[in-house]
Amino acid sequence: MPEITVPLFSATGKKLPVEMPLEFIERYVNHFTVVRNRRGHIKRAYVKRILAFDDRPSSLLGIAFRQELWAGGFVWALSGVEGSS
């Protein structure tokens, strides 16, 4: 029996050049926004955005700033420096 695959899209709606197995999408459904047809079968999946990466402040000067972690600690994050993200 052939493996059923689901087309994968980015959070912005662009089609990614990969299709994922249906079992993988169902197992990690909390990482995807799934679109189902009338019968409830998964038609396509969108990768959810990672808010920790999308909401970071940006800088062109290359400064370091202290960033609070959700676990309660602090870390130094570099912004605007080549090679650091």
Q: What is the model's pTM?
A: 0.57
The ranges of the chain with pLDDT < 50 are: 59-62
Where do the domains of the chain lie? 5-49
The pLDDT value recorded for residue 72 is 74
CB 9 within 8 A of CB 44: yes
Q: What's the token pair of residue 23?
A: 């079992």
The pLDDT value recorded for residue 79 is 55
The pLDDT value recorded for residue 59 is 45
The pLDDT value recorded for residue 71 is 75
